[in-house]
Structure 1
Amino acid sequence: MKQKFMVVYEHLEHNYSGFSPDIPGAGSVGDDLNEMRAMMKECLELYLSAIAEDGEPMPLPVTTSFDFGEIRVESVDHYVVEWLEVEVPEVQLATR
C-alpha cells in the first residue's frame, strides 16, 4: 500500500539533506534535489519495512504543516517541502 509523508529538504552549500517529521530518525542526503527525493524514498521505505518486521506500530502521515523556526540554520539557504509517496508494508494484526 502507498502513503504520502511530508518531507522537508534543506539545501546546504553543496547538497541537500532531508527528513520526515512523522518518521523521527529517518533522514538522508543527496547531491541534488532529484537524487535527494530518490534517497529519501528509499530511506523511508527501508525504515518502514524494519518497523513492520519488528512488529512496531507503523507511523502515520499526520503532519500537515511545519514550523521552520524550530530548525532554522544559517547554512541552509532554502527549504523544499513536499508529499513523498512511499510503499508502506501491510502489517498483519495479531489475532486472538
Structure 2
Amino acid sequence: MTKTFLVVYAKVPGKNFAGQAPDVPGCVSAGDTLEEMRVMMREGLESHFQVMTEYGERLPEPATTSVDFKDDDFEDVEYFVVEHLQVEMPVQHHKGEAISA
C-alpha cells in the first residue's frame, strides 16, 4: 500500500538540498540534486516507517496539504520545492514483524 505525503525540499545556496515531511517529524534527508533528494527522501520515509512498525508505533497519516512560508524561512535558502511524494507503507504482520506491502 502506498500513501502520498507532502514534502518540502530547501535548496541551500552553493550546497545541496535538504528535505523533510511536515507530517513525519524527525525524518529528514539530503541530496546533491533534486532527483537524488526525491530518492533519498522516499528511502528515508520508508525506512522511518519500517522502524516505527517494528517498534509497534502508530504510523502517521498524511494530513498536510500546503505550506505557508514566512520571509525569514528564506534567510539561508535559495528556493523551496514542495511536492507530494508517494511512499510504500509497511504493513503489520501478525507476529509484530513489519513487511512491505
- Unaligned 5+ segments in structure 2 are 95-101
For 1:43, the aligned partner's letter is G
Say which structure, 1 or 2, has more relative contact order (CA 8 Å, 6+ apart).
1
Which one-letter code corresponds to 1:90 in the other structure? V
Matched with 1:2 is 2
Residue type of the alignment partner of 1:2: T
Residue of structure 2 equivalent to 1:85: 86
Identity %: 45
How many Å apart are 1:73 and its aligned residue?
3.6
Q: Distance in 2 between matches of 1:25 and 1:70?
A: 23
Residue 18, structure 1, aligned to residue 19, structure 2: yes
Tell me the TM-score normalised to structure 1 length.
0.90
What TM-score comes out, normalization by structure 2 length?
A: 0.86
Runs of 4 or more consecutive aligned structure 1 residues displaced over 2 Å after TM superposition: none
Structure richer in strand, relative to its length: 2
Distance 1:27-1:71 versus aligned 2 partners, 3 A rule:
farther
Unpaired runs of 5+ residues, structure 1, are none
Task: Return the alpha-carbon distance in structure 2 between the equivalents of residues 7 and 54 of structure 1.
Answer: 24
CA displacement 1:22-77 (0-9 Å, x = unmatched): 00000001001000000000000000000111111110001111122297041201
Structure 2 counterparts to residues 1-96 of structure 1, below 5 A: 1-13=1-13, 14-69=15-70, 72-91=73-92
